[in-house]
Chain A
């Protein structure tokens, strides 16, 4: 179990998070939704050790989590940052190797090689560009690479910051499918998304963050059903899609 409890965070004087508590189990996908500037990335950065909470604590399996991103990656908590952030001058293969840096350093060469094959099966497009510069990939391809690179660390908890950003609906759906299947491999996922419908459709629970505090937590179906939650807390982001996927989901929920 990875959790934050009673976490506050300030950027200087500016409050970004207040009294946030949230937990993530290895067997589930949990969505974290909210409008721009709500504090989602800040919260992920706290979970991955990039930022230190001003108040409150981060717990891993019931104990205070190790400090700093390097120690947390060792402990199996891996963040895939917002906006791709691939290593542009490195090849696709080298990017994937860097994802497995800790494991390669520990000498797990064979297991890493197996995982690399698994990633190429999961994202075949990466296989065709394996020797090319990561910076030459399209935005969507870089997004896939960033996710595959995160998975190469063999995480127990994966923190994804807007993995479907800028992807075509078809590729986004593929990404969500990959995410849905991760808990079965023992990897819990905390999923930050603007595509609320896509995220909720693969999640067991959802959290809604507004200006730094959790305003709702619970069953994704409740979020989708509640028109007020949808409008007030998710903003317009999921409105256009509602006419398609959303209705079927909502209807399924009512039935």
Chain B
């Protein structure tokens, strides 16, 4: 394979996994901005999204689009329920307690998913038939395009939501100053639930998109969730643009490393870079420096 073909190959696969990391990182961001909680169950939203999609398609035999929509809505509902049932009752307590509750919810969710779907790997079909495509010498499949396209649509949709809609602006106001937001009559409790639902939806998208490429099982989200978390930290935890940038950079790094060095080292290198960036810029690439108003 010619060098430039190999390179575009790495780019495409890097951008694909990077997109999924970006979606995952955005989920972490949403919940962090609403509550300052790091949601350790974000990865489980990915698994659940893939599993629901699989069951709706293969189990119930639903057509693609309804299955897709229902799977995303189902995980959004799971996110909202997680906030209502696990975190809200403990609202007034320590942040550490809340974070630990997300760890517990994650373990619980994984146990439930294992019971329902079993331990084995499930064959999740791609969104459209796998016809091989070529671009600048690189081989890829329509699934790569779906991942890139849907991720782009999700990012643009989120941007529109936060910049243009009243609810989105209220969420940003709440993130900036929850006390002042409630003095404006903004229903901070409701918006917090909505943040969890949105994070669930983003997780579901990531899961539905990536599991046909990787594999689908009840615990596929564990490592992907960790990578998404790393991407969020890399970009500057809490920054939306940072989450996207961090995700894409992490994905590209991994794929370049796997291609040019060895796939055995790709995780190591990715985390090495992460550490290095954080030594040099503790607030992440696009993060707000500490102490700014």
| Residues on B with beta carbons closer than 8 Å to the beta carbon of A95 | 173
In the complex the two chains form, is B293's CB within 8 Å of A153's CB?
Answer: no
Q: Is A114 an interface position by the 8 A CB rule?
A: no
Q: Is B177 an interface position by the 8 A CB rule?
A: yes
B183: which of A48, A74, A94, A105 is its contact (CB, 8 Å)?
A48
Chain B's nearest CB lies how many Å from the CB of A113?
14
Q: Is B65 an interface position by the 8 A CB rule?
A: no
Q: Is A216 an interface position by the 8 A CB rule?
A: no
Q: Is A171 an interface position by the 8 A CB rule?
A: no
Known: A73-B184, A87-B176. 17 other contacts (CB 8 A): A69-B185, A70-B185, A73-B185, A81-B180, A86-B177, A86-B180, A88-B177, A88-B292, A90-B176, A94-B169, A94-B172, A94-B173, A98-B169, A98-B170, A98-B181, A98-B186, A102-B184
In the complex the two chains form, is B183's CB within 8 Å of A78's CB?
Answer: yes
Q: List 6 A-B contacts (CB under 8 A).
A: A48-B183, A70-B185, A73-B183, A90-B169, A102-B185, A135-B293
In the complex the two chains form, is B293's CB within 8 Å of A70's CB?
Answer: no
Q: Is A54 an interface position by the 8 A CB rule?
A: no
Most chain A CB within 10 A, of B166, B172, B173, B182, is at B173
In the complex the two chains form, is B176's CB within 8 Å of A101's CB?
Answer: no
Complex Cα gap A154–B185 (Å): 12
Residue of B nearest to A85 (CB): B180
Decide: A70 near B182, CB < 8 A? Known: A85-B177, A135-B293.
yes
Provide the B163-176 mask, 1 if CB < 8 A to any CB of A, else 0.
00010011011001
In the complex the two chains form, is A69's CB within 8 Å of B182's CB?
Answer: yes
Chain A's nearest CB lies how many Å from the CB of B176?
4
In the complex the two chains form, is B293's CB within 8 Å of A98's CB?
Answer: no
Q: Is A50 an interface position by the 8 A CB rule?
A: yes
Chain A's nearest CB lies how many Å from the CB of B286?
13
Chain B's nearest CB lies how many Å from the CB of A192?
15
Decide: A105 near B169, CB < 8 A? Known: A73-B184, A88-B293.
no
In the complex the two chains form, is A101's CB within 8 Å of B186's CB?
Answer: yes
Chain A's nearest CB lies how many Å from the CB of B30?
15
| Residues on A with beta carbons closer than 8 Å to the beta carbon of B169 | 90, 94, 97-98
| Residues on A with beta carbons closer than 8 Å to the beta carbon of B292 | 88, 135
A101: which of B166, B172, B177, B179 is its contact (CB, 8 Å)?
B166
Q: Is A8 an interface position by the 8 A CB rule?
A: no
| Residues on B with beta carbons closer than 8 Å to the beta carbon of A149 | 184
In the complex the two chains form, is B185's CB within 8 Å of A74's CB?
Answer: yes
Q: Is A165 an interface position by the 8 A CB rule?
A: no
B186: which of A50, A70, A88 is its contact (CB, 8 Å)?
A70
Provide the B115-138 mask, 1 if CB < 8 A to any CB of A, else 0.
000000000000000000000000
B residues lining the A interface (CB < 8 Å): 166, 169-170, 172-173, 176-177, 179-187, 292-293
Residue of B nearest to A93 (CB): B169
In the complex the two chains form, is A105's CB within 8 Å of B182's CB?
Answer: no
| Residues on A with beta carbons closer than 8 Å to the beta carbon of B182 | 50, 69-70
In the complex the two chains form, is B176's CB within 8 Å of A88's CB?
Answer: yes
Complex Cα gap A149–B181 (Å): 11
A87: which of B166, B180, B185, B187 is its contact (CB, 8 Å)?
B180
Q: Is A42 an interface position by the 8 A CB rule?
A: no
| Residues on A with beta carbons closer than 8 Å to the beta carbon of B183 | 48, 50, 69, 73, 78-81
In the complex the two chains form, is B293's CB within 8 Å of A90's CB?
Answer: no
Complex Cα gap A79–B172 (Å): 20
Residue of B nearest to A142 (CB): B293
Provide the A124-151 mask, 1 if CB < 8 A to any CB of B, else 0.
0000000000010000000000000100
Complex Cα gap A50–B173 (Å): 18
Chain A's nearest CB lies how many Å from the CB of B62?
35
Complex Cα gap A88–B182 (Å): 16
Interface residues in A80-110 by Cβ distance below 8 A to B read: 80-81, 85-90, 94-95, 97-99, 101-102, 104-105
Residue of A nearest to B163 (CB): A94
In the complex the two chains form, is B184's CB within 8 Å of A98's CB?
Answer: yes
Chain A's nearest CB lies how many Å from the CB of B238?
11
Complex Cα gap A102–B187 (Å): 10
Most chain B CB within 10 A, of A81, A89, A153, is at A89
Complex Cα gap A135–B172 (Å): 14
In the complex the two chains form, is B293's CB within 8 Å of A101's CB?
Answer: no
| Residues on B with beta carbons closer than 8 Å to the beta carbon of A153 | 184-185
| Residues on A with beta carbons closer than 8 Å to the beta carbon of B170 | 98, 101
Complex Cα gap A70–B188 (Å): 9
In the complex the two chains form, is B187's CB within 8 Å of A70's CB?
Answer: yes
